[in-house]
Amino acid sequence: MKINDLTIEQLEKAASMLKAISHPVRIAILNHLENGKKSTVTEIHEALGIEQSAASHHLGILRNNDILVAKRDGKNTYYFYKHDRLNVLIDCISKCACEKV
C-alpha cells in the first residue's frame, strides 16, 4: 500500500479523524484509554472532572470518527480504542507536546 499519495477522500478522512482527536479533553480521554483500557462515560466524567454531558459529547465525537468504539453492558457503555494503531499516534503527539511545552 502506498501511503504517500492519498486520494482526496483519504485526505479528508485523515483530517476528520485527526480533528476529532484535536482537543485537550479528547486527548486526555485517549490517554486515559491507552493500552486497551475500557471505561464508562461516568468513569471518564469523574476521572477528568468534566460535566457528564461534556464527557458523552466528546466520546460521541471520537466514536463518530472511528477513533473509539462504544459497547453497552447493562446500564453502562464502555468506550475503547477501535484500532491499536492509534496508541502510536497518541504516544507520538504526547511526546511532541512534552518536548515543547
Partner DNA sequence: CTTAGATATTTATATATTTGTATAAATTGT
Partner DNA sequence: ACAATTTATACAAATATATAAATATCTAAG
Distance spanning both ends of the chain, measured CA to CA: 36
34 binds a second copy (CB under 8 A): yes
Size of the site for a second copy (CB under 8 A): 45
Closest to 65 in 3D by CA, of 88, 43, 82: 82
| Residues linked to residue 81 through DSSP beta bridges, in sequence order | 68
Nearer to DNA, 2 or 80 (CB): 80
Type of residue numbered 54: A
Determine the Cα–Cα distance for residues 48 and 7; give it in Å rounded to an integer. 37
We find the least distance from the C-beta atom of residue 40 to DNA, in angstroms, to be 3
Sole binder of DNA in the list 19, 37, 83, 95 (CB under 7 A)? 19
Closest contact distance (angstroms) between CB of 51 and DNA is 5
Q: Which does 46 bind (CB under 5 to 8 A by kind): a second copy, DNA, none?
A: none
Shortest approach of a second copy to residue 59 CB, angstroms? 16
Question: Residue 59's binding partner, choosing from DNA, a second copy, none, with beta-carbon cut-off 5 to 8 A by kind?
Answer: DNA
| Order of all β-strands in the sheet with 76-81 | 39-40, 76-81, 68-73
